[in-house]
Amino acid sequence: MIKNDATSIEEKLDSIIAELRHINRRERLRTAGGIVRFLISIIPIAIMLFGLWYAYRYTDELLNKVAQAAARQAAAATQQNAAAMLDTSALDTWIKQYLQ
């Protein structure tokens, strides 16, 4: 009833071994793919952590640069407004038109 044929058992074992080798190759590829996907997904986290560290480390310098830029812009705007206020030609024209 049950054949204990050595060739059939050997064939079955060979097919099992071939299937295990195929599964092993597939698992190695899946593992490599998982590692690559992990490395790609960790890049934005690393960039964010570096940015946080940089901002923490150089906060004073960054604030000084921002304050200097704001001061330069305020000075330029003030000079433009002061020049416009000191320009009396528009006022003279208005007075001449009013007095005539």
Residue range 27-71, pLDDT digits in tens: 999 999 999 999 999 999 999 999 999 999 999 998 999 999 999
Report the pLDDT value the prediction gives residue 97, as an integer from 0 to 100: 79
Question: In the chain, what percentage of residues exceed pLDDT 70?
Answer: 84
Average pLDDT of the chain, as a whole number: 85
- Residue 98, pLDDT > 80, answer no
Identify whether the C-beta of residue 92 lies closer than 8 Å to the C-beta of residue 99: no
The DSSP letter of residue 61 is: H
- CA-CA distance, 87 to 100, in Å (whole number)? 22
